[in-house]
Structure 1
Amino acid sequence: MQGTPTPWSYLLVRLLFKFVLKVFYGTIVINNADLVPVRGKPCIVCANHSNSLTDALLLVTSIPSNRRNMLRLTAKSTQFGKKTFTSWLVESAGTVPIHRRKDFEGPVDNTQAMASLIQALEAGDAVMMFPEGMSRFHPTIAPLKTGVARLASDVLSRHRDDPEFELAIVNCSITYMHRQHWRSDVLVTWHPPLILRPKDNPELLDPVNYGAIRELTSQIYRQISSGTLDSPSWNLVKLSKLAARMYAPLGTTMSLGDHVNITRIFLEAFKDANEETVSEQSSEVQSEALKVARLQADLKAYQDQLATLGIKDDRVRTFPSLSRHEILRRMIIRLSWFCLLLLISIPGLLLWIPVFITTFYAVRELKNGVMSDVFDEIAQYKLVYGLISGLGVWLCGVVLTLPFALFTVFLIPAIMWMSLRWMEDCVASFRAFFSLLRLLRAGKPALTETKRVRDGLHGRILEWATKSLGLPPDPENFFLQTGGREKGRVMSSWHSKTGYFSIKRRRKRDWNETLRPYEVEYIYPEEDS
């Protein structure tokens, strides 16, 4: 089997959105893409689903083209039949419509959709399904539907006379640092495929035991959740990120995968301590859970204190290394650098203005709906409308400079890209200036007390991380030796100095950095009870 030939529209979608995703997100880190089975081997790709169409685009662009001809997409049926650019993209890429119960009154029939997916798998294609069944802006993965396991059962049953027939389920974890913000970062982690054969998995052959379907669904959930942040609340995610930053402070040379993994380790430990079943465990387990609960409460109080002062943990960590004179000197440098970068960015920013206005109004109109229903579509709308308006700016610029079109066809996108890069450094300088200003305003007594609290918390976190969670005792040196050049300071290194001015992307010290001039505290919609 060689798989279905790649349609031109799919190639166009992949090329366009590979470009626009690299513009919208600062860094897209793809781990273990070599685990995806090669073309001709039927496989079902599964992933968590929190960012609407953007999730599908990330999966399409993260699979190497030399491994798969195409990824057969699935999407909610309400995306089809509309006179919109998004609808055209979805339909022209050979996407299979899935009818969701929440979109219709009464029962839905997906018989034709399942038949199309089975046909694609038997042709050696890869099909994509989101087992949560819907996209939602929530920190926890929804209970998985059994559709993937039932599809796998149907395919295996059709090939029960070929005991060597193989079907792979390839699970993927997508982690967005800030899914709807420009120049934020994304981690895409592929897991080892679950290989199913008629001879090895008779429990999945018709007539199938529903317990086997549930067990396979549980396996899919465990793999997906093991590579991302799966939390019952946003607050617990924030506390876990704070604990991870205190354990591995700002400036630690660490890959995005390491950063997410450490945050996930703290998150899972917090979740275990909050489990209702803890009361049924041994006294030792209860004592440890109580200790973690107290740490969690103290971290929350410290987090609130940082918010009151308007500063971040790293400023408290390094206090009082900076004198008042040194702070003022650095403020002058940051402000001067901000003004210089803003000045040289102005020509390119003029080209970006139509894009900013278009996306602003598109998202503004989107937010007129119920917030919990549309938060997951913000990035999708920014990507689509940003692409359309960006292409419009480029075409208009080429037409207006027609005598020099051979040059401007390349010069315009180059100017837009460089102005975006300069703006990243410009915003970082602006943010650093106000961070230093808030440090001055906080005053020595308040900072001294906050530092005392922080030192106590840091000691407790380090002891917990090394003795109970199995993390290395010296994270700064450990991760410096294991890699992670994507971020972090590398002192006295040419790589560190050139990386800051890299044309490709900004060298970030903090994976949570975005292209925003100031920090905004969002109140995200929680799951309805």
Structure 2
Amino acid sequence: MRWLRRAVIVVIARPIARMFTGADIIGREKLPLKGPAILVANHSSHVDTVLLLTIYPSKALDRVRPAAAADYFLKGRLMSWFSRNILAIVPVARDRAGAGEDVLAPAREALAAGDIVLIFPEGTRGDGEELTRLKSGVARLAAAFPDAPVTPIWLQGAGRVLPKGAHMPVPMNCTVLVGDAIHWGGDRAAFMEEMRQRLEALKALAPPQRWA
């Protein structure tokens, strides 16, 4: 099934993503190409996941797995098949978080297998302009894999391509900024604050959009 995933993303999704996002990639060389590794990005659109998959070289693509809400991405037979086999999601059962279940177990298993796990620590889509509160799940994963690099990524403009509640994408200039990786330092609060600062710094570096 890996060949099918690679073909769909490289042959179909990548050209479509380029057409609708016109994405400029800054710092692509900082992307980890092997795992275990963690990618942390802001979240404003369903375009985010596909866009980040399409910027990866095809040889490393097999290892990139986005963490995604099981209640949405595994809803319905077709959506579930696409999410598991093409997006290769790491399912997060966020509705069971308060029931004592370890909802991060699938992400830990993926990291233990040497995968690159993509996390949106805001937990849900924002407006793409301001970074909302970050959830600490990424810190727990970093603590479990202290040698894994945690790479911050800022996505500018993706929320305008397919904003929350919209059903049809519109062309929009986007920028993907990849920052220097950080590592777990032993303190959860300090780690989360550094992650927020890195994301905010990348946002500040984003060039003006070519059109609004």
Q: TM > 0.5 between the two?
A: yes
Q: CA deviation at 1:100?
A: 2.5
The answer on whether the counterparts of 1:31 and 1:189 sit within 8 Å (CA) in structure 2 is yes
Q: CA deviation at 1:110?
A: 4.7
Residues 1:179 and 2:161 are matched in the alignment = yes
Residues 1:512 and 2:198 are matched in the alignment = no
Distance change in 2, residues 1:222/1:62 (3 Å)? same
Q: CA deviation at 1:56?
A: 0.7
Query: CA deviation digits over 1:441-494, x for unaligned, max 9?
Result: xxxxxxxxxxxxxxxxxxxxxxxxxxxxxxxxxxxxxxxxxxxxxxxxxxxxxx
Q: CA deviation at 1:35?
A: 0.5
Q: CA deviation at 1:85?
A: 4.4
Alignment of 1:231-270 (within 5 A): 257-259=206-208
Choose from 80, 83, 91 the match for 2:84: 91
Residues 1:65 and 2:40 are matched in the alignment = no
The aligned counterpart of 1:433 is none
Distance change in 2, residues 1:84/1:140 (3 Å)? farther
Question: Structure 1, unaligned stretches of length 5 or more?
Answer: 1-5, 157-165, 205-211, 230-255, 261-510, 514-529
The answer on whether the counterparts of 2:91 and 2:106 sit within 8 Å (CA) in structure 1 is no
Distance change in 2, residues 1:195/1:20 (3 Å)? same
d(CA) in 2 for partners of 1:215 and 1:125?
25
Q: CA deviation at 1:9?
A: 4.1
SS in 2 for 1:258: coil
Cα RMSD between the aligned structures?
Answer: 2.6
Q: CA deviation at 1:149?
A: 0.5
Distance change in 2, residues 1:257/1:136 (3 Å)? closer
Query: CA deviation digits over 1:421-449, x for unaligned, max 9?
Result: xxxxxxxxxxxxxxxxxxxxxxxxxxxxx
The answer on whether the counterparts of 2:63 and 2:114 sit within 8 Å (CA) in structure 1 is no
Choose from 227, 233, 250 the match for 2:202: 227
Question: Structure 2, unaligned stretches of length 5 or more?
Answer: 163-168
Flag the structure with larger Rg: 1
The structure whose RCO (Cα within 8 Å, separation 6+) is larger is 2
Residue-pair matches, total: 203
Please identify which structure carries the higher strand content. Answer: 2
Distance change in 2, residues 1:120/1:59 (3 Å)? same
d(CA) in 1 for partners of 2:173 and 2:196?
23
d(CA) in 1 for partners of 2:29 and 2:101?
32
The aligned counterpart of 1:47 is 41
Q: CA deviation at 1:221?
A: 1.1
Alignment of 1:69-468 (within 5 A): 69-83=62-76, 85-93=78-86, 94-101=88-95, 107-111=98-102, 113-137=103-127, 139-156=129-146, 166-176=147-157, 178-180=160-162, 182-196=170-184, 201=185, 204=186, 212-228=187-203, 257-259=206-208
> TM-score under structure 2 normalisation?
0.83
Q: CA deviation at 1:154?
A: 2.0
Q: CA deviation at 1:186?
A: 0.6
Matched AA of 1:169: V
The answer on whether the counterparts of 1:99 and 1:108 sit within 8 Å (CA) in structure 2 is no
d(CA) in 2 for partners of 1:32 and 1:168?
15
The aligned counterpart of 2:5 is 10
Please identify which structure carries the higher helix content. Answer: 1
